[in-house]
Amino acid sequence: MTAPDPTADQAETSYVSVDVLALRFDHDRRAVQLGIGIRATAPFAGRPALPGVLLRRGERLGEAGRRALGKIGVTDPTPAMGQLITFDEPNRDPRGPTLSVALWAVADSTGTADWVPLDTPPALAFDHARIVADCRDLLAGMLWRDLHFTRALTGPVFAAADALDVHASLTGRPADRGNLNRVLAGLPGLTKDGVQVARGRGRPSALWRWQDDAPDGTA
Amino acid sequence: MTAPDPTADQAETSYVSVDVLALRFDHDRRAVQLGIGIRATAPFAGRPALPGVLLRRGERLGEAGRRALGKIGVTDPTPAMGQLITFDEPNRDPRGPTLSVALWAVADSTGTADWVPLDTPPALAFDHARIVADCRDLLAGMLWRDLHFTRALTGPVFAAADALDVHASLTGRPADRGNLNRVLAGLPGLTKDGVQVARGRGRPSALWRWQDDAPDGTA
DNA sequence: TCAAAAGTGTTGGCTATACACCCATGG
DNA sequence: CCATGGGTGTATAGCCAACACTTTTGA
């Protein structure tokens, strides 16, 4: 406010990239997976990386996130998404200084991505391994608390066994069945649905169903 | 990754501004205050605003935060600072689309700022009132938990009465004396210092002193 | 009828909150 | 000696993790 410096205020700014942790629960592999793309262009051409784009002028973070998802063939027009953290290491991109805003998103289709386990991702381009590591703790903290995130990840109906698998993938440790059942029972908008399906040897899981806000396409 | 679009990747990006919630505990007014500057240039010339600058190419968020603090005359070369959230409403700046990364910082001097109470700030330029409102809850949650933040705000030595005032300013509700004393007793690196100073009519407060990492200048 | 998978119950520890009571100081 | 501000102790409720026990299924 004192000593205004117009030239400083109009200096060229860093680029802003939006990098997306695209998530998906694989019912068969019983794990949360991360959507990875193979970079087609330099730098790091041919190497796996998080889907990311440079933010366009005037673009909202969510729009950029959807473009990034398009890079791995996920084209849902209204994916569940949210903001995580902003990384500012100036050397994280060899093309030049680039801010990275990390977003999470839940994919509804497999697209063209490689889906790798979130807890043991392969080596990634840029500082993406570090981004994944830092954000996994945040995602674990959001599970069962941020219902927008949780509902997207579990889908409209899920078995109690799925909840255990999701918890294990995100936190790295298995959850206690009893405690998790009580957590689920306490979540608003979630009810136990008497129907159950057999999956293997033991007793079938109970099913939980989210209510309200149109599951997909009914609105 | 599929269908790479080099032109899109090199599109012009939004500007990035860094806006700082400069904080200070006023021992006399017994409240946490927010440092405000009067804008010297358009837009919103003459109106109060958070100190903010446009991020330069290759600049780290912390560096930009220090430049912003310079705008209100705070020149500490190593202020305590941290990241809050990133705002992306495209119309928040009439000059054009601008991302805003909100930081907190603790000022060691009064500089040239207007220091207003954090809990009742005046009308501010841009969407700064909204930023302050959103971030105050985050700051309240950091108190007594994020020790870097807490120690900076309280200073190296503080009275128990100050702790009550800080808590009230940030959360909006008075703290219970007894419970707060126990919280303080449980914080690592903080010890009760038998010395005490009289301030008014009643019994003098106990003093608490932070240990370790050189208070200021002893290292 | 047994092992695997799932659901229910119980306990102990930690935290948060409220409140009652005792202590030190200035007028 | 009493109002004012400060410190200590205690009781309660809620949350969370751990673990024991029961139920349902497939083989």
Check pLDDT > 70 for residue B29: yes
- Taking the C-alpha atoms of residue A52 and residue A43, their distance in angstroms, rounded to an integer, is 13
- Taking the C-alpha atoms of residue A34 and residue A113, their distance in angstroms, rounded to an integer, is 9
Taking only Cα atoms into account, the Rg of chain A, rounded to an integer number of angstroms, comes to 20
Q: With CB atoms and an 8 Å threshold, state whether A40 touches B13.
A: no
- What's the whole-number mean pLDDT along residues B66-77? 96
Nearest to A101 among B40, B57, B86 (CB): B86
Instruction: Sort out which chain A residues have CB atoms less than 8 A from B49's CB and list them.
Output: 1
User: B2: number of CA atoms within 13 Å, CB side?
Assistant: 12
DSSP B82-117: EEEEEE--TTSSTTS-EEEEEEEEE-SS-TT-EEEE
Q: Is the CB of B194 under 7 A from strand D?
A: no
Closest CA to B67 of A23, A83, A7: A7
Nearest to B54 among A13, A88, A96 (CB): A13
- Pick the residue with more confidence: A58 or B196? A58
Closest CA to B22 of B162, B93, B99, B116: B116
- Do you know the residue count of chain B? 219
Any idea which residue has 């500012």 for tokens?
Answer: A88
A65 Cβ contact list (under 8 Å, min separation 6): A18, A20, A79, A81, A103, A105
Give the tens place of pLDDT for each residue, A200-213. Answer: 788 999 999 998 76
Q: B100: burial class by Cβ within 10 Å (0-12, 13-18, 19+)?
A: buried
Residue B212 pLDDT class (50, 70, 90 cuts): confident
- Taking the C-alpha atoms of residue B164 and residue B181, their distance in angstroms, rounded to an integer, is 9
Nearest to B57 among A54, A59, A97 (CB): A97
Residue B121 pLDDT class (50, 70, 90 cuts): very high
Strands A98-106 and A157-159: unpaired
- What's the whole-number mean pLDDT along residues B28-38? 95
Residue nearest to nucleotide D27 (CA to C1'): A201
Question: Tokens representing A99?
Answer: 């801010």
Supply φ then ψ for residue A100, to 5 degrees: -125, 120
Residue nearest to nucleotide C27 (CA to C1'): B201
Report which residue type is found at A6: P
Query: Do residues B30 and B163 touch, judged by C-beta distance below 8 A?
Result: no
Nearest to B58 among A8, A55, A97 (CB): A97
Cα A55 to Cα A34, B59, B94, distances in angstroms: 22, 18, 19
Least Cα separation, residue A132 to chain B (angstroms): 18
Closest CA to B93 of B131, B134, B138: B131
Least Cα separation, residue B56 to chain A (angstroms): 4
Q: With CB atoms and an 8 Å threshold, state whether A8 touches B112.
A: no
Residue pairs between chains A and B whose CB atoms are closer than 8 Å: 127
Q: Is the CB of A178 under 7 A from strand D?
A: yes
Question: Tokens representing B68?
Answer: 């912003």
Cα B8 to Cα A41, A56, B79, B90, B206, distances in angstroms: 13, 8, 38, 19, 61
Give the tens place of pLDDT for each residue, A124-175. Answer: 999 999 999 999 999 999 999 999 999 999 999 999 999 999 999 999 999 9
Residue B90 pLDDT class (50, 70, 90 cuts): confident
Give the tens place of pLDDT for each residue, A54-105. Answer: 999 999 999 999 999 999 999 999 999 999 999 998 889 998 889 999 999 9
Query: Do residues A137 and A119 touch, judged by C-beta distance below 8 A?
Result: no
How far, in Å, is the CA of B201 from the C1' of nucleotide C27?
Answer: 8
- The 8-class DSSP code of residue B78 comes to S
Strands A98-106 and A15-26: parallel
Least Cα separation, residue B211 to chain A (angstroms): 29
Check pLDDT > 90 for residue A7: no
Count other Cβ atoms within 10 Å, centred on residue B46.
10
pTM for the model stands at 0.87
Check pLDDT > 70 for residue A49: yes
Alpha helices in chain A (DSSP H): 6-9, 61-71, 128-142, 147-154, 160-171, 177-186
Any idea which residue has 């200073």 for tokens?
Answer: B155
Q: What is the pLDDT of residue A219?
A: 40
At residue B131, the 3 state secondary structure works out as helix
Q: Tell me how many degrees the CA angle B58-B63-B69 measures, rounded to the nearest 5.
A: 140
Q: With CB atoms and an 8 Å threshold, state whether B99 touches A2.
A: no
Supply φ then ψ for residue A166, to 5 degrees: -60, -45
A178 Cβ contact list (under 8 Å, min separation 6): none
- Taking the C-alpha atoms of residue B114 and residue B108, their distance in angstroms, rounded to an integer, is 14
Q: Which nucleotides of D are covered by protein (CB under 7 A)?
A: 3-10, 16-20, 23-27
Closest CA to B175 of B194, B193, B162: B162
Check pLDDT > 70 for residue A8: no
What percentage of residues in chain A have a pLDDT greater than 90?
75
CB < 7 Å to strand D — which of 199-218 in chain A?
Answer: 200-204
Closest CA to A37 of A25, A23, A48: A48
- Taking the C-alpha atoms of residue A70 and residue A37, their distance in angstroms, rounded to an integer, is 10
- Pick the residue with more confidence: A196 or A46? A46
Q: What is the pLDDT of residue B13?
A: 76
